A and B are shown apart, each in its own frame.
Chain A
Amino acid sequence: MTAVAAAGGSRRTRLRYIAERRGFLATLLISPAVLFILALVGVPLVLAVYLSFTDAQAGSLTGKWVGLANFRNALHDPIFRGALWHTFLFTVISQIVVIFCAGLIAHAFIRNFRGRWALRFFVLLPWAAPIALTAIGFLWFYDPQASIFNWFLIKLHIVDPSHLPNWLGTPKAAMSSIITVQAWRTIPFAVVIFLAGISSIPQEVDDAAAIDGATGLKKFWYVSLPLQLPIAMVAILFGIVFTATDMVVPFILTNGGPFNSTQVLTTYAFQTGINAGNIGEGAAIALFMLPVLALVVIGMLVFARRAEVT
């Protein structure tokens, strides 16, 4: 075919012929995206790995090769080890809360009812609003003197006005406070994923279960739950990535304090790499997120293959 066109036509028809070939056209359409991603994700990722093996300081992209020294220093640093543990706590606890609440909420929103639009709007607010801004709102809600939560607890006579809890000022309370905000903000996103997943389950399954006499809890346990487990998996995987690698909530609310009690990997990498100017060490700290990411990616791929089979 190619030979015929090449022999028979002028240059223009030949060009047009090439443009009609699917493989060529597909490559042409996809390559700008691939190049963009390689330049802006691939290259910096490689650079991050390279920097972590050097003693690069702020103001330069090169430094002396120091081998594994940055990683060794990090592992001997008590603040860093604390940051690892806090990242784990922050992620796991918030995501357990999220999955439980989001599963419930999503089931309430599957079918239409009066007022659904408005209620869904309220539920989605925490995710739709920019978190860097709403986190500042919480800075005010947790204010030592004027915390609305404290005012509420005073009204209920749970706390004494002369001994008010300081939500961001004491280590234990600070961790729970930032976990609460992270859960508050991620719940709507998990609801969206749940709704997306549930809407992709064919109605026939429901009908078949109904004909077989499955109702209520039984139907939920034997039919709905197994079908929705993969969806819950997707929501959890996304939640883990967005929580373990995000720094907005701890950065704005506590910036790692008090006494590094809420220091997570991302805030510590920022403080080391940007504030203190030790780019190499900062990069090494940030790279400890990679194993988590790798696990999540593998999970996603397994899920993608499962979805392909069914």
Chain B
Amino acid sequence: MKSGWRYNAFSYGIAIPFAIVLAFPFFWMAVTSFKPEAQVYDRTKVWSFHPTLANYGFLFHQTDYLRWIRNSCFVGGMVVLITLVVALPAGYALARLSGRVGRTMGVAIFLTYLVPPTLLFLPLSRVIAQYLHLSDRLWALVVVYPSFTIPFAIWLLMGFFKTIPQELEDAALVDGCSRLGSLVRIVFPISIPGILTVVIFTFSLVLNEFVYAITFISSSTNRTLTVGVPTDLIRGDLFNWPGIMAAILIPSIPLALVYNAFLNRFIAGFTGGAFR
């Protein structure tokens, strides 16, 4: 390419400063998490301290942290399952419906993703308590979360399925396969990378959710990660800042690594639905 070094200089000049500013909070969280609790308020000991793992020990042994992680994973797993069962067929059908109908329906379904939990949590909190009798149960979250993961997943899957040539399925039909058969035997297997992307991003949406989780769940043992840390670790009488920093970093770093690894596929699916 032309003027390679100039583009590189531009890239580094922008990317490095922004990367430092945007990632700095995580760096400082990491430093704090290794400090002895007594030293975190000491301005003279910013760098000179004896690193310790005591805060991580505190988190795992003296709080419900591991339980919250397990709760989050349970809800995440169930929601991913429900989302795939519902969104896979719908995403495929919308990708193959040619013309206006398919497009309009796809956009309509995607727009429901924009209806925010902050608008729905009040009526839903009553529905959960009065009709479903799921107050303070993780199942309440399993039931409600698909409301935003399904539209999101359908949109992504639509994008992925559109990139699979119709001819491949036609060939299977000619060979005597039924339409549903070609879906299960041809389309789904070659879409596995796309499906995996949907799994990852659905899971991270669930892990991120806060409004429903804080409204529906009231007891400490049933909390998910995002709600357990701010309510139980902060409002309790123990204000262990290094421990809290550790609690933030433990799920964030692996999540970000996976996120980054799948980002290119995410972009392909997202634009596949929008621009094709």
Contact = CB atoms under 8 A, between A and B. Distances in A.
Nearest to B92: A29
A124 B248 CA distance: 16
B119 interface: yes
B140 to A, nearest CB: 12
B226 A132 contact: yes
Interface in A279-308: 279, 282-283, 286-287, 289-290, 293, 296-297, 300-301, 304, 307-308
Contacts of B96: 26
Nearest to A289: B119
Contacts of A256: none
A307 B239 CA distance: 52
Interface string B235-276: 000000100110110011101110110010011001100110
B178 A20 contact: yes
A114 to B, nearest CB: 8
Contact of B147 (A37, A107, A117, A279): A37
B275 to A, nearest CB: 5
B150 A33 contact: yes
Contacts of A44: 120, 123-124, 127
A71 to B, nearest CB: 15
Given A128-B259, A133-B248, A289-B119, A113 B8 contact: yes
A104 B123 contact: no
A213 to B, nearest CB: 12
Interface stretch (B22-30, B56-64, B189-197): B22-30
Interface stretch (A3-11, A74-82, A169-177, A191-199): A191-199
B217 interface: no
Contacts of A32: 85-86, 89-90
A22 to B, nearest CB: 8
Contacts of A148: 28
Main secondary structure of the interface of A (DSSP, over half): helix
Taking each of A19, A33, A296, which has the highest tally of chain B beta carbons within 10 Å of its own beta carbon? A33
B253 to A, nearest CB: 8
Contact of A252 (B46, B230, B259): B230
Taking each of B11, B46, B90, which has the highest tally of chain A beta carbons within 10 Å of its own beta carbon? B11
A153 to B, nearest CB: 12
B123 A283 contact: yes
Taking each of A108, A135, A289, which has the highest tally of chain B beta carbons within 10 Å of its own beta carbon? A108
Contacts of B226: 130, 132-133
B172 interface: no
Contacts of A259: none
Interface in B82-133: 85-87, 89-90, 92-94, 96-97, 103, 105, 107, 109, 111-112, 114-116, 118-127, 129-130
Nearest to A293: B114
Interface residues of B, number: 99
Could you say which interface size class chain A belongs to?
A: 35 or more
B18 A195 contact: no
Contacts of B41: 145-146
A119 B111 contact: no
Contacts of A105: 14-15, 18
B244 A136 contact: yes
Interface in B113-165: 114-116, 118-127, 129-130, 143-144, 146-147, 150-151, 154
Given A188-B22, A304-B107, A40 B122 contact: no
A51 B32 CA distance: 46
B78 interface: no
A266 B118 CA distance: 6
A137 B248 contact: yes
A33 B86 contact: yes
Contacts of B120: 41, 44-45, 48
Contact of A41 (B18, B97, B115): B115
B160 to A, nearest CB: 14
Contacts of B8: 113
B179 A241 contact: no
B227 interface: yes
B19 A133 contact: no
A126 B247 CA distance: 16
A135 to B, nearest CB: 8
A64 interface: no
A51 B123 contact: yes
B86 A36 contact: yes
A199 B229 contact: no
A51 B144 contact: no
Given A125-B22, A130-B251, A188-B22, A60 B46 contact: no
B180 interface: yes
A68 interface: no
10 contacts: A28-B89, A36-B147, A60-B126, A61-B127, A129-B252, A129-B253, A188-B22, A197-B271, A290-B119, A297-B114
Given A25-B93, A108-B15, A130-B208, 14 more contacts: A22-B179, A41-B147, A45-B115, A61-B123, A61-B127, A128-B256, A128-B259, A134-B252, A136-B233, A137-B29, A138-B25, A245-B118, A283-B122, A304-B274
A-B pairs, top 3 by smallest CB distance, nearest first, are A245-B116, A129-B252, A40-B147
